[in-house]
């Protein structure tokens, strides 16, 4: 084997394909940078147009992924691979990939449906997919939630749309369903009057719909009152905690007791007859 004859050919091959590889890498790096730039432009344009934040996040990610696919095809074409045949191969492999990625495709379809029908938006507090939290971002395949204790939860879109969705933020007002237990020995008219006075003194309680107060049930250890005022959704927990504290303090002042769980035990003496 003549080494002197092989070296020129080897240099020619390295020069030809080396340049192609460098060009393909450059196309990929620059193309990815451009794709990110277009994503940023799209997000800023949609933001200026006052488009819903949920739609902005989804379209931004979709734009980036779509452009990145074209960049990869261009980089592969630079290596000498015919893009027409490459696309044909991708199409032929698409069915197999689709079957293998049924879950991902379902998540993508679920994300599109959430954008179209909008069961919730970014910033809403929702319950779905076996968890609950504030919606931070709806991505192509997943939705990002933040729990009240500041944990981040990534939920597949299909899991959210495949079950019931409870949106706690979509309505302006919410009703509190509180149960207040008092002793059977207390004056029920007095209890109701005290509860009504507590509501009257709190300016955050809505007049419409009107709050409801009444005996809900006769429990084992207490008479349970249903205490159901309406408040603004954003103030729900603040009012809930303040009312609970106010009820305890007023009951102590008025001599109204909140009974402990108790049980009466009756002992019977059993005398055995001794047979002689």
Structure confidence by residue, pLDDT tens digits, 170-226: 999 999 999 999 999 899 999 999 999 999 999 999 999 999 999 999 988 899 999
pLDDT band of residue 114 (cuts 50, 70, 90) is confident
Domains 7-100 and 118-167 share a fold: no
Assess whether pLDDT exceeds 60 at residue 40: yes
pLDDT in tens, 119-146: 888 889 999 988 999 999 888 888 999 9
pLDDT at 27: 81
Q: Please, what CATH class does the domain formed by 173-254 belong to?
A: alpha beta
pLDDT at 202: 92
pLDDT at 182: 93
From the list 228, 227, 226, 215, the residue with the least C-alpha distance to 184 is: 215
The angle at the Cα of 136, spanning 138 to 105, to the nearest 5 degrees, equals 20
Instruction: Supply the CATH classification number for the domain 118-167.
Output: 2.30.30.60
What is the pLDDT averaged over residues 245-274?
79
Highest mean pLDDT among 69-73, 88-92, 173-177: 173-177
Highest mean pLDDT among 43-52, 108-117, 163-172: 163-172
pLDDT at 211: 93
Question: How far apart are the C-alpha atoms of 248 and 87, rounded to whole Å?
Answer: 71
Pairing of strands 223-228, 212-218: antiparallel
Output 57 or 54, whichever has higher pLDDT: 57
pLDDT in tens, 144-175: 999 999 999 999 998 998 889 999 999 999 99
DSSP string for 34-98: HHHHHHHHHHHHHHHTT--HHHHHHHHHHHHHHHHHHHHHHHHHHTT--HHHHHHHHHHHHHHHH
Assess whether pLDDT exceeds 60 at residue 246: yes
Pick the CATH number of 7-100 from 1.10.287.1260, 3.40.1190.10, 3.40.190.10, 3.40.1790.10: 1.10.287.1260
Output 92 or 106, whichever has higher pLDDT: 106
pLDDT at 7: 57
What is the pLDDT averaged over residues 3-27?
66
Q: Domains of the chain: which residue ranges?
A: 7-100, 118-167, 173-254
């Amino acid at each position: 084997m003549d080494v002197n004859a092989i070296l020129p050919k080897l240099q020619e091959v390295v020069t030809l394909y080396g340049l192609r590889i460098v060009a393909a890498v450059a196309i990929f790096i620059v193309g990815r940078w451009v794709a990110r730039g277009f994503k940023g432009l799209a997000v800023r344009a949609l933001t200026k147009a006052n488009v819903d934040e949920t739609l902005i996040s989804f379209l931004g990610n979709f734009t980036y992924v779509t452009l990145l696919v074209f960049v990869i095809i261009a980089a592969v074409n630079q290596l000498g691979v015919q893009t027409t045949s490459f696309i044909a191969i991708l199409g032929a492999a698409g069915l197999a990939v689709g079957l293998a990625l049924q879950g991902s495709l379902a998540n993508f379809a679920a994300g599109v449906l959430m954008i179209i029908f909008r069961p919730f938006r970014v910033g809403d507090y929702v319950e779905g997919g076996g968890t609950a939290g504030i919606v931070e971002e709806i991505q192509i395949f997943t939705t990002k939630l933040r729990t009240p204790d500041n944990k981040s939860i990534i939920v597949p879109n299909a899991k959210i749309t495949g079950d019931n969705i409870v949106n706690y933020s979509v309505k302006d007002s919410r009703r509190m369903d509180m149960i207040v237990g008092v002793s059977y020995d207390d004056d029920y008219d007095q209890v109701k009057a005290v509860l009504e006075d507590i509501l009257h003194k709190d300016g955050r309680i809505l007049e419409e719909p009107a709050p409801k107060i009444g005996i809900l049930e006769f429990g084992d250890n207490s008479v349970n009152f249903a205490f159901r005022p309406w408040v603004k959704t954003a103030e729900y927990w603040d009012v809930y905690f303040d009312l609970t504290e106010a009820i305890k303090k007023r009951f102590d002042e008025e001599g109204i007791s909140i009974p402990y769980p108790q049980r009466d035990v009756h002992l019977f003496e059993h005398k055995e007859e001794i047979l002689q």
